[in-house]
């Protein structure tokens, strides 16, 4: 009997969790009791949720001592609760400071990223540092922290710094001190901002032009490693940086380190203009194909214009194939000067549009999608995507119903793995409406994938407001997108919401299930 009790005790320990299971009855009391809660809304059948589970558990254990609670809600059992908080897909993560103060989680789905993000959320936007000990502790509180050294009477700089901290608190930890002796010990004169980091030169100093824009730009540039590493936790940040990204593909850590040292002078010359990063060609080599490189021909180099979705692969043929500082430096200089043409991958233009759905490729994208007289609904899909395959017959049915209105509406689709498209696609299928007269502002569809709902979306959001009747289809339980091809890794309401969505889709199947589009 004692042995049985011992086994039961071990089993209980083995299944113990620091993640709190909540229901409709326990949710509100729990978030009222805890000052800060991260809640995951999930479904047991969701593959992305299963991939998140061990990371979420690890984060919960790490944050327990900081009194930051992690909870989860099974939306298949608690439908009313999930509907109350507007849950449309799984997993959805939200930060609660009480039942009515709710914001979207805007970090990556990795334990370290969750811990870092929630630690920032638990602190004031600017922490006051009173002495040398508190400063030294704060310096290492995260990989990147910013400390303002301002005089007691410098209200202007303090206020501006605080405003930047309020806006960027999800990205960085901010601290401030008015102690002149501390500033002197750090080798700066008030006013100054020092960004401390656990990489490269260790810190950077900002001492003039204290505007919100200049401080934010300083933080963005100084916090980015000279040559970083592209992966699930970093991809979204690179995509949101607003400048091109240069990839260095190599198969081993030793080769990536060697190439980093070789290309460091090139990266230093272009700092703030182009981000440089290595990428594991064994784990994420397929992404080389997305950049129009020859997969398997490593090492390799390519530049991606993240704003225009253009790719510039370094030529792998000829005598200058070697990734030397001289060769890559010349290529990058020519790119910056606008002398390198983007590489465009496209399937052949169909000789005839045979099915109800119009087939788009890169070479006819401009002619079809950008036709300013028509509302054009485009599905960006991947041939291997299970969700795309399930949608196909409904999408064809939708196209058939709109055929009588072909002068006003086009229902189209494009294989985004075989064609370069000028849109950021973070998962499959992605459906966007390019409405007549507003082609530069496509509207992304996020509803149920039914003929009726898609038709209503075209009617309500299109410029031509074409209405069809008799559309039908069954509702889906939740919205879940497939990821980019195996081995490929992937920027608030407003910008934060975009970052959150991107961050959720950057994990490759080899390490996580959320992938980016033809980025990572």
Question: What band does 65 get if pLDDT is binned at 50, 70 and 90?
Answer: confident
82 is catalytic: no
**Would residue 46 show up in a list of annotated catalytic residues for this protein?**
yes
Torsion of CA 485, 488, 491, 492, to 10 degrees: 60
Beta bridge partners of 192: 149
For the ranges 143-157, 249-263, 313-327, which has the lowest average pLDDT? 313-327
Q: Check residue 236 and give its pLDDT.
A: 80
pLDDT band at 234 (very low <50, low <70, confident <90, very high): confident
Helix 253-269 to helix 325-336 angle (10° resolution) is 50
Report the C-alpha gap between 377 and 259 in whole angstroms.
Answer: 44
| Catalytic residue (choose from 60, 246, 250, 385) | 385
Catalytic residue from among 360, 388, 414, 500: 388
Q: For 492-504, what is the HEC assignment?
A: CCCHHHHHHHHHH
Write down the pLDDT at residue 299.
94
What is the Cα gyration radius of the chain?
25
Return the higher-pLDDT residue of 15 and 514: 15
Q: What is the mean pLDDT of residues 171-197?
A: 94
Share of the chain above pLDDT 70, in %: 87
pLDDT category of residue 239 using cuts at 50, 70 and 90: confident
CA distance 515 to 411: 26
User: pLDDT per residue over 363-420, tens digit each?
Assistant: 999 999 999 999 999 999 999 999 999 999 999 999 999 999 999 999 999 999 899 8
Of 36, 37, 38, 46, catalytic: 46
Tens-place pLDDT, residues 445-460: 988 999 999 999 999 9
In this predicted structure, the answer to whether residue 197 has a pLDDT above a threshold of 90 is: yes
The whole-chain average pLDDT of the chain stands at 85
Confirm whether pTM is higher than 0.85: no
- Alpha helices in 105-244, H assignment, sequence order: 111-122, 132-139, 155-168, 180-185, 212-222, 235-240
Q: Could you tell me which of 189, 240, 245 has the C-alpha nearest to residue 216?
A: 240
Assess whether 75 carries a catalytic annotation. Answer: no
Q: Which two tokens stand for residue 249?
A: 């593909």
Please state which of the ranges 86-95, 311-320, 423-432, 475-484 shows the lowest mean pLDDT. 475-484
> Rounded to whole angstroms, how far apart are CA atoms 476 and 247?
38
What the chain holds in terms of domains, given with CATH numbers, is 20-121 (3.40.30.10), 123-223 (3.40.30.10), 227-337 (3.40.30.10), 358-461 (3.40.30.10)
Given the residues 49, 75, 194, 291, the one annotated as active site: 49
Cβ–Cβ under 8 Å, residues 336 and 274: yes
> Predicted confidence band at 106 (pLDDT cuts at 50, 70, 90)?
confident
């Amino acid at each position: 009997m004692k042995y049985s009790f011992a086994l039961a005790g071990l089993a209980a320990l083995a299944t113990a969790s620091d993640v709190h299971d909540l229901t409709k009855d326990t949710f509100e009391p729990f978030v009222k009791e805890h000052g800060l809660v991260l809640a995951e809304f999930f479904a047991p059948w969701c593959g992305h949720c299963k991939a998140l589970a061990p990371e979420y558990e690890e984060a919960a254990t790490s944050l327990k001592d900081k009194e930051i609670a992690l909870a989860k809600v099974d939306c298949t059992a608690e439908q009313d609760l999930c509907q109350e908080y507007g849950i449309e897909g799984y997993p959805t993560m939200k930060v609660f400071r009480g039942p009515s103060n709710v914001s979207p989680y805007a970090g990556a789905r990795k334990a370290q990223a969750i811990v870092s993000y929630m630690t920032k959320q638990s602190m004031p936007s600017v922490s006051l540092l009173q002495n040398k000990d508190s400063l030294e502790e704060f310096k290492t509180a995260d990989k990147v922290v910013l400390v303002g050294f301002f005089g007691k009477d410098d209200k202007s700089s303090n206020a501006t710094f605080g405003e930047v901290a309020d806006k960027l608190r999800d990205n960085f930890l901010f601290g401030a001190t008015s102690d002149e002796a501390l500033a002197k010990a750090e080798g700066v004169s008030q006013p100054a901002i020092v960004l401390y980091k656990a990489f490269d030169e260790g810190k950077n100093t900002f001492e003039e032009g204290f505007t919100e824009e200049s401080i934010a730009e300083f933080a963005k540039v100084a916090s980015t490693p000279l040559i970083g590493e592209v992966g699930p936790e970093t991809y979204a940040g690179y995509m949101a940086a607003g400048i091109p990204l240069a990839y260095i593909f190599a198969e081993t850590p030793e080769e990536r380190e060697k190439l980093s040292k070789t290309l460091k002078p090139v990266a230093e010359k272009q700092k703030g203009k182009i981000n440089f990063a290595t990428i594991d060609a064994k784990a994420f080599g397929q992404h080389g194909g997305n950049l129009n490189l020859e997969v398997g021909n490593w090492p390799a180099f390519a530049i991606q214009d993240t704003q225009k979705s253009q790719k510039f692969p370094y030529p792998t043929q000829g005598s200058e194939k070697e990734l030397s500082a001289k060769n890559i430096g010349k290529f990058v200089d020519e790119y910056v000067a606008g002398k390198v043409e983007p590489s465009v991958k496209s399937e052949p233009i169909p000789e005839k549009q045979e099915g109800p759905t119009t087939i788009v490729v890169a070479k006819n994208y401009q002619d079809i999608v950008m036709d300013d007289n028509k509302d054009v609904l485009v599905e960006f899909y991947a041939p291997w995507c299970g969700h795309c395959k399930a949608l196909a017959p409904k999408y064809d049915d939708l196209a058939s119903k709109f055929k009588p209105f072909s002068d006003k509406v086009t229902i189209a689709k494009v294989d985004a793995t075989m064609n370069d498209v000028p849109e950021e696609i973070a998962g499959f299928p992605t459906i966007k409406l390019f409405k007549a007269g507003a082609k530069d502002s496509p509207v992304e569809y996020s509803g149920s994938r039914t003929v009726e709902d898609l038709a209503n979306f075209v009617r309500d959001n299109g410029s031509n407001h074409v209405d069809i009747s008799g559309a039908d289809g069954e509702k889906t339980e939740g919205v879940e997108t497939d990821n980019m091809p195996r081995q490929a890794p992937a920027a608030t309401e407003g910008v934060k919401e975009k970052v959150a969505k991107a961050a959720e889709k950057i994990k490759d199947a080899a390490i996580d299930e959320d992938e980016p589009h033809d980025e990572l």
